[in-house]
Amino acid sequence: MNKHPLPPLTHIPANLQTIADYEQQAAQHLSMQTWSYLTGGAMHEISVQQNLLQFQDIQLIPRHLNDLTHGHTQITLFGKQYPHPIFLAPIGHQQLFHPQGEAASALAAEVMQANYILSTFSNTAMTEVNQNYPFKWFQLYWQGSRECSLPLIKQAEASGFQAIVITIDAPHVGIRDRERKIFFQLPENMQHPHTPTHISFPDVSPTEHPLFNGLMKIAPQWHDIEWLINNTQLPIILKGVLHPADAKKAVEMGVHGLIISNHGGRILDTTICPLHALQKIRQLVPTDYPLLLDGGIRRGTDIFKAIALGASAVLIGRPYIYGLATAGALGAAHVIRILKEEFEITMALMGTATIKDINNDHIYLD
C-alpha cells in the first residue's frame, strides 16, 4: 500500500510460502486506492474479520494410523468430476490488479486444474477463456430484466461454461467506508465486454421511495430464478445464500446448488458467519446437495474445516488476487498450489484419504 506500486514480478521469490506472504507482497504492487478496494469491506469490516476468525475458532481432532495410500482430492458435482475442491470465486475488474486481468487468473486455474468462475464484470470476455478448459462456470449479475440477462446465459452455454452462478446478495452496493473515504472509482476507460452499456434505471416519481421503487425494481426475484432454471440446461447455483429458509426454498424450486457466502464481507456488515450458516443449511438440504463455502479461506486447514462442516467445495477470492497482483498467472497459480498442498498435507495429518472421509467427527465443538 504505497505511492509507487512495484510492477508485477515475473518469477516467484522463495520467501513467498503462504497466503499471508502473498497478501503482504501484493500490497507492494497495488496503489492505495486499489488495495483499499480489494481488501476493504462493508462498514466497520467486522464481517471481513469474522470471515477469517470463524476458522480459528474451530478445532480439529485428527485420526491416526489409517491407511492413506490411494488417497486423492477429487470431488463430483452435478455429475462431473473436479480434481480438487478449491474453486476461484468470481471477481470483477481484475485488470485493476494486473494488466492481464481475468485472462491471467483463468490461466492459473487451468494450470492448477481449479474450477474457474468468471464474473459478469470481467474485463476478459467469456469467449477469450480457453474453450476447451472443462472446469469453468459463469457468474451472472442480473441485468435488470430477463431479456437483458438471457443473452449472457446463452453466451456462457456457447462458450463451454458448465454452470451459471447467480449472485443474489447484492441488490445494492455495500456501504464500504474505506472505499468511500478515498472516493474510489473504477478507471473510466475500463472495458467490461459483458456489460458494455449501463443498465437503464426505472423512472421514480417524486412521491415514490427512490430506493425501494428505483433500484429494487430491477433486482432479481424468486420467479426470475425459476425462469432461469427453465431457460438453460446448465445447473443454476445461487451465490450469497445465508438464510436457511432461502436455502430450503431454493432446493424446493429446483436450484442445483448454493454458495454460502457473505460476499467477502463487502456488502452487509455483521452477517452470520458463512461457516455457521453452512452448518444450519447442511442440516436441511438433501445429503450430497451441493453447498459451496465462500469467505475467509487462507490455509489448507480452513478448507478441511469447511468440508468437515458440510461444504462440497470452497471458493477462494482475495487470495488468488494477491497472487495475480504479485506475479500474474504465475502468482495466482502458486497461490492455488500452496492451498492445494496445505490441504493435502492436512488430509494426511487428519488421517483422511479422500474428501468423502472428511466429516464433522473431525471437529471439536466446544
Q: With CB under 8 A as the contact rule, which of the stretches 70-78, 121-129, 229-237, 309-317 interacts with its own copies?
A: 70-78
Neighbours of 29 (CB within 10 A): 22
217 makes contact with its own copies (CB under 8 A): yes
- On whether the CB atoms of residues 75 and 81 are closer than 8 A, the answer is yes
Among residues 123 and 346, whose Cβ is nearest to its own copies? 346
Would you call 301 helix, strand, or coil by DSSP?
A: helix
- Selection from 261, 344, 260 nearest residue 304 by Cα: 344
Q: With CB under 8 A as the contact rule, which of the stretches 28-36, 93-101, 145-153, 216-224 interacts with its own copies?
A: 216-224
Cell of 314: 470452497
Neighbours of 20 (CB within 10 A): 13
300 makes contact with its own copies (CB under 8 A): yes
Burial degree of 336 (CB within 10 A; 0-12, 13-18, 19+): buried
Write out the binding residues for its own copies, residues 76-105 only, by CB under 8 A. none
209 phi/psi in degrees, rounded to 5? -75, 125
Find the shortest distance in angstroms from Cβ 342 to its own copies: 6
Neighbours of 288 (CB within 10 A): 10
Q: With CB under 8 A as the contact rule, which of the stretches 92-100, 132-140, 143-151, 172-180 interacts with its own copies?
A: 172-180
Does residue 263 have an active-site annotation? yes
Among residues 61 and 186, whose Cβ is nearest to its own copies? 61
273 makes contact with its own copies (CB under 8 A): yes
**Given candidates 6, 13, 20, 193, which one binds its own copies under the rule CB under 8 A?**
20
Among candidate residues 29, 93, 98, 263, the one labeled active-site is 263
148 makes contact with its own copies (CB under 8 A): no
Find the shortest distance in angstroms from Cβ 139 to its own copies: 15
Q: With CB under 8 A as the contact rule, which of the stretches 64-72, 87-95, 105-113, 126-134 interacts with its own copies?
A: 64-72
**Given candidates 10, 11, 65, 132, which one binds its own copies under the rule CB under 8 A?**
65
**Given candidates 28, 195, 213, 232, which one binds its own copies under the rule CB under 8 A?**
213
Cell of 271: 452477517
Burial degree of 113 (CB within 10 A; 0-12, 13-18, 19+): middle
Cell of 7: 510492477
Among residues 49 and 131, whose Cβ is nearest to its own copies? 49
- On whether the CB atoms of residues 268 and 243 are closer than 8 A, the answer is no
Among residues 198 and 364, whose Cβ is nearest to its own copies? 364
Q: Which residues are annotated as a binding site for glyoxylate?
A: 37, 141, 167, 176, 263, 266
6 makes contact with its own copies (CB under 8 A): no
Cell of 171: 441488490
Among residues 131 and 359, whose Cβ is nearest to its own copies? 359
Name residue 31's beta-bridge partners.
2
Taking residues 324 to 353 in sequence order and writing x for each that binds its own copies by CB under 8 A, - otherwise, the string is ------------------x-xxx-xxx--x
Neighbours of 310 (CB within 10 A): 20
- On whether the CB atoms of residues 173 and 246 are closer than 8 A, the answer is no
Find the shortest distance in angstroms from Cβ 223 to its own copies: 9
Dihedral of CA 47/114/281/298: which sign?
negative
235 makes contact with its own copies (CB under 8 A): no
Catalytic residues: 263
